[in-house]
Amino acid sequence: MKNLVKAIIAIAIICAALMYTVHSLDKTSSKAGANVLTVYNWGEYIDPALLKKFEKETGIHVIYETFDSNEAMMTKVEQGGTNYDIAVPSEYTIEQMKDKKLLLPVDHQKIPNLKNIDADFLNLDFDKKNHYSIPYFWGTVGVVYNPNMLTKNLDFSSWNQLWDPSLKGEILLVDSAREVLGMSLNSMNLSLNSTDSAELKKATDKLIKLSPNVKAVIGDEVTQLMVNGDAAVALTWSGQAADMMYDNEELTYTVPDEGSNLWFDNMVIPKTSKNVDGAHQFINFMLDPKNAAQNADYVGYSTPNKAALKLLDAEVVNDERYYPSAEVRDNLHVYKDLGKEKIGEYNELFLKFKMSLQ
């Protein structure tokens, strides 16, 4: 009993000490005062040297936090209690955040470097005239594979090659309804934004036929598994594929001819921002050609900054795996926010597909 009381007291003291430390740390950071910028970004999605450079140039202190899913990020902004000045959601989330009035408009006057962005990436459907968002990185959904592990000579120029019987138990899929059902829709030359229930059912039936080839449906663990050679083929995003190829040179990435998803991550200013001016400075800073090139080089995703492309390694820029030609890009489509009900239908069907895995 005595020991128990001692233990409880010890825990209480430790908690009090920790709370005090957190409190005093908070105080010092808020003392740095008005000139603090809180950036909320995906993990491993910026060159830390750039943050230092930004602090030095502007005198603004940057607090950097990371999230791992659009939904988690949006929930945090929505619930309040945070003061993020910059966030980097994907396009369909921007649509939702716009609808929920979670974003502040971006003042283009304060971002002269906007001229560096390729016009192809501006004025897109999810945010006409870029009222709320500025492009950060973009990429595709495709197939990453290890040619040395294939028993048959496949190049995945068509999605339908995934159904090849020689791939039994070799395919990893991302655990995301839009990507997987979209892939099946694309393989039948249908739109990945389809809202036609008959088409979706057809896509699901086709997916169920894929199940013998599916090794697992998982999340970010795909990267490590592909690098280790646990599977021969994976459906994944171009950026993740770039990470894998960096660690395992046997791997290669391709976007099948029928078309696929084109995605954008964009900088936005959440309504929680306390330093709107600093946020604009930050966006402008990231659009500077030199900074954008340095960032793209570090992160490995494709930059929408056409002035930065000239500064990047020609080998990377001309690599169609990262920067597909305009011709290929015509076949790529951006996800639209289909509304809760349709998303629910996609997920129900995806669940049905997952149930067919044995």
Partner 1 sequence: MQNKRSGSITLVPYYVWIALFVIAPIVLVGYYSLLDLEGNFTLENYKNFLTPVYLKMTLSSFWYAFLITTVCLVVSYPAAFIISRLKNKQLWLMLIIIPSWINLLLKTYAFIGILGQSGPINAFLASIGFEKQQMLFTSASFVFVSVYIFIPFMILPIFNSIDKLSPALLDASRDLGASRLYTLRRVMIPLTMDGIKAGIQAVFIPALSLFMITRLIAGNHVITLGTAIEQQFLVTQNWGMGSTIAVFLIIFMFIIMAFTGEKKKKGASRRGKN
Residue closest to 35 by CA, chosen among 223, 227, 274? 274
Beta strand 252-254 with 332-333 is unpaired
Closer to partner 1 by Cβ: residue 271 or 352: 352
Question: In this structure, are residues 218 and 136 in contact, taking their beta carbons and an 8 Å threshold?
Answer: no
Give the helix/strand (H/E) hosting 67. strand 61-67
Residue 355 binds partner 1, judged by CB under 8 A: yes
**Residue 339 Cβ vs partner 1, minimum distance, rounded to whole Å:** 9
Beta strand 171-174 with 214-218 is parallel
CA-to-CA distance for 236 and 240, rounded, in angstroms?
A: 7
Give the phi and the psi of residue 97 in degrees, each rounded to 5: -65, -35
Give the helix/strand (H/E) hosting 104. strand 103-104
Residue closest to 257 by CA, chosen among 355, 323, 167, 159? 159
Closer to partner 1 by Cβ: residue 217 or 292: 217
Residue 348 binds partner 1, judged by CB under 8 A: yes
Interface residue with partner 1 among 9, 22, 49, 218 (CB under 8 A) is 218
**Residue 353 Cβ vs partner 1, minimum distance, rounded to whole Å:** 9
- Which two structure tokens, joined as six digits, stand for 297? 């080089």
Residue 175 binds partner 1, judged by CB under 8 A: yes
Question: In this structure, are residues 91 and 130 in contact, taking their beta carbons and an 8 Å threshold?
Answer: no
Interface residue with partner 1 among 141, 217, 241, 245 (CB under 8 A) is 217
Q: 247-286: which residues touch partner 1 (CB under 8 A)?
A: none
Give the helix/strand (H/E) hosting 8. helix 2-31
Q: Find the part of the chain contacting partner 1 (CB under 8 A) among 152-160, 270-278, 312-320, 338-346.
A: 338-346
- Which two structure tokens, joined as six digits, stand for 124? 């897109």
Give the CA dihedral 205, 208, 210, 214, nearest 10 degrees: 150
Interface residue with partner 1 among 57, 71, 120, 196 (CB under 8 A) is 71
Q: 4-23: which residues touch partner 1 (CB under 8 A)?
A: none
**Residue 52 Cβ vs partner 1, minimum distance, rounded to whole Å:** 32
Q: Find the part of the chain contacting partner 1 (CB under 8 A) among 22-30, 44-52, 103-111, 217-225.
A: 217-225
Beta strand 133-145 with 233-237 is antiparallel
- Which two structure tokens, joined as six digits, stand for 336? 């639209």
Q: Find the part of the chain contacting partner 1 (CB under 8 A) among 2-10, 100-108, 112-120, 211-219.
A: 211-219
Interface residue with partner 1 among 48, 99, 169, 320 (CB under 8 A) is 169
Residue 352 binds partner 1, judged by CB under 8 A: yes
Running DSSP on this structure, what letter comes out for residue 305?
B
Residue 347 binds partner 1, judged by CB under 8 A: yes
**Residue 150 Cβ vs partner 1, minimum distance, rounded to whole Å:** 16
Q: Find the part of the chain contacting partner 1 (CB under 8 A) among 22-30, 276-284, 297-305, 350-358.
A: 350-358
Contact residues for partner 1, defined by CB under 8 A: 71, 169, 172, 175, 177, 215-219, 221, 224-225, 228-230, 340-341, 343-344, 347-348, 351-352, 354-355, 357-358
